[in-house]
Homo-oligomer: A and B are copies of this chain.
Amino acid sequence: MNFREKLEHICVKNDSILCIGLDTDYTKIPKFLHTYENPILAFNERIISTTKDIVCAYKLNLAFYEVLGFSGTETLMKTLDLIPNSVLKILDGKRCDIENTAKKYAKTMYEILGCDATTVNPYMGYDSVKPFLEYKDKCVFILCRTSNRSASEFQDVGDKPLYQKVAEKVKSWNRYGICGLIVGATYPEELRIVRNIVGDDIPILIPGIGVQSGDLTACVKYGTNTYGIQTIINVSRSIIYAGSDEKFDETARLRASDLNTKINKIRYEKIRR
């Protein structure tokens, strides 16, 4: 099975296009965990164990592990080991470099860390993405329209805005069906345009729901393909930090489950029409 088939399979099995972002920050996790040997790992373990049947993927933001120095790499790898194979592992590093260097990044993400998908930045063009396309059973999510306030500064440059050119190019790079795009939930109209450009076959990873206040209804409606899939809605802080006491993991599950129900309602309404 390639990534797209795996994604479809797990979305159907868990009835979920929700991804939980493990942007785990020592200063934000429940205080009682601070006495544990590895607080970050203990936190991740409990979040994964209580939510793994209602998500399609976990996304680990590399910045939050790199900042821990030596122990960060260990915590990252141990967290990846805790994620069951039935659920997809996305490593979010937004790497971008010349081909010779990009090969090393691709090897790190796919071979050393063993993720199913990673994220890259398109600024340097095709040859910087090419090494990631050599891994035929993986997926590379390419930044298109990002969720932050300054997104328009460079992504809207040109008569046809840059982000649309990126979407068109990525469609043309997708010979082996292993490209995906990233579009922020905070820009629903741009999301609609991108889904129209790429058609049904390219998965879109959507951050920006939750703390960043993206529009859930619009992003599910516009982001999913004709069949209500090939979209991954990533939510980090508003799920994992929903609770702050001993039962934080149960609170996170309730929040995730509630959000997933809302997402599915929008998905099913869209398909039914």
Contact = CB atoms under 8 A, between A and B. Distances in A.
A246 interface: no
B121 A66 contact: no
Interface stretch (A133-141, A144-152, A193-201, A220-228): A144-152
Number of copies of this chain that the complex holds: 2
A218 interface: no
A9 interface: no
Contacts of A23: 100-101
Given A63-B105, A98-B148, A154 B166 contact: yes
Counting chain B CB atoms within 10 Å of each CB, the highest count among A63, A108, A159 belongs to A63
Contacts of A67: 104-105, 107-108, 112
A70 B159 CA distance: 46
Given A70-B74, A101-B63, A158-B157, A149 B127 contact: yes
Counting chain B CB atoms within 10 Å of each CB, the highest count among A63, A64, A123, A151 belongs to A123
Contact of A125 (B95, B154, B165): B154
A97 B157 contact: no
A100 B107 CA distance: 27
Contacts of A127: 148-150
A128 B157 contact: no
Contacts of A147: 98
A162 interface: yes
A98 B165 CA distance: 22
Interface in A102-130: 102, 104-105, 107-108, 112, 121-128
A251 interface: no
Interface string A246-258: 0000000000000
Nearest to A25: B104
A98 B146 contact: yes
8 contacts: A66-B105, A66-B108, A70-B74, A94-B121, A98-B148, A121-B123, A124-B151, A128-B148
Given A94-B96, A128-B148, 14 more contacts: A63-B97, A63-B108, A64-B104, A67-B104, A94-B95, A94-B97, A98-B147, A121-B123, A122-B154, A123-B143, A125-B154, A154-B162, A158-B159, A158-B162
